[in-house]
Every structure is written in structure tokens, then in C-alpha cells.
Amino acid sequence: MDEAICYPCQNANTLRTTNITASSVQVNWYARVNPIQWQVQFKTTKLGSKRIDVLVTGNKRLIVITGLLSNQNYLWQIRARCSNCWTASSSSVGFTTLKSTAIALIALSKKVQTSATEPAVLKVSPNPSGGFINMDLQVGNNLSSTAMLSLFDLSGRRFYTEKTGVINGMLRKRMQLPWNVASGTYILEVLVNNASYTSKLVLIR
């Protein structure tokens, strides 16, 4: 049945897809005001695939969708219920689930191999973190150089990059993670002179 499009409130915008795994995803959106209800719809891109509806209260700004198929292309969209009618649906946002979390982590760790002569460990605390972290890395020599800090999700997508310095072989830094990085598990990488040092980081907002 066709439904009337209404305009008293606005639909969500700034749709983002984060924390993608082999079987789940977190979908995020922004809205200035709360509608009565949100309807999130998702489906695979296979021909004939039907949308699955998820209804949540209007104060929500994210949901986690579980039970997805691994290594599949999906689309999702959202609309808002205002009074007795719905806004038009948003444009669809695509994402691809992972083959497996383990494969993604292995691929990321192999991106740049750490030199066997520098068996250093990147220490991160607190972990889990609410947004601030302390990094401690001793590369084992008197090297003074520029280091590149990067934050990746488990699918290997880079969320943040920053340059910092290594002085006399030591990197010690207090860092605030960007506000728009959602809760989840990430990989923090420090790249120094083509050597990569990584640590798993759990972020809880």
C-alpha cells in the first residue's frame, strides 16, 4: 500500500557504516530531533533479495545488525516516522561483510613486516579506552625519526592518521581518538622506518 510522504520532521542524514565483521555491522546516523520511530531496512544486493526491517525508537542514533552472511554485499537505508506517516527513505548505503575476522587481522598484520632486529612491542593503555590512550614504544636503538600513527578497523579501513616523533628510540605519546570513531575493536599501527608495530585497541564510548 502506498504511504503518504510527510514533512513535519526530517529524516536522518550522515549515514555511516562501522564495525563490519563476517556476520554483523553497526549502522550509524545523525538527526537534529527525535522522530516517533526509525525504520532501518537492509538487504543483500543479490537479485530478488527482500529488505529486512528493523524498527527502533526515535532517540537512537545507531544499531548493530547481526546474523549477516559472510563475504556478502549489502545495502541499508533509513526513514523516520513523523506523526502518522513516514518520511521518504534515505539513499542506500553499501557495505561488504568480511570473509572472517581472523583473515582481516592476518592481512593487516602482513601489510608491513616488523624488522626481526627490532622486536619491540607497542603498549597501549588504558585498553579498553574511552577516548584517550597512552602509547609506549621502544624500538631498541637511538633512532630519531618521524613515525606515522594509523587507526584501522578490522576490515583494514583507515580511520585516522597522525605524524609524531621518535626520539632516541622512544615514542611516548598521549592521544585523544577522534570523536567520530564509534565504539568497537580497532588496530593501532605505528610505522617507523618501514617497520610496523601494531596493537589491538577496544574503544568504548
What confidence tens digit (pLDDT) does each residue in 136-148 have?
A: 988 877 778 888 8
Nearest-5° Cα angle at 116, 111 to 118: 95
The CATH superfamily holding the domain 13-99 is Immunoglobulins (2.60.40.10)
Please state the rounded mean pLDDT for residues 66-72: 87
Question: Does 79 score more than 70 pLDDT?
Answer: yes
Question: Does 161 score more than 70 pLDDT?
Answer: yes
| Total Cβ atoms within 10 A of residue 134 | 14
Fold annotation for 104-203:
Immunoglobulin-like (2.60.40)
Q: Could you tell me the pLDDT band of residue 8, with boundaries at 50, 70 and 90?
A: low
Please state the rounded mean pLDDT for residues 118-124: 74
What confidence tens digit (pLDDT) does each residue in 179-199 have?
A: 778 888 888 888 888 778 888
Q: Give residue 114's pLDDT.
A: 41
Question: Does 6 score more than 80 pLDDT?
Answer: no
Please state the domain extents for the chain: 13-99, 104-203
Across 38-42, 45-49, 109-113, least confident range: 109-113
Please state the rounded mean pLDDT for residues 9-34: 87
Please state the rounded mean pLDDT for residues 146-151: 87
Question: Does 108 score more than 60 pLDDT?
Answer: no
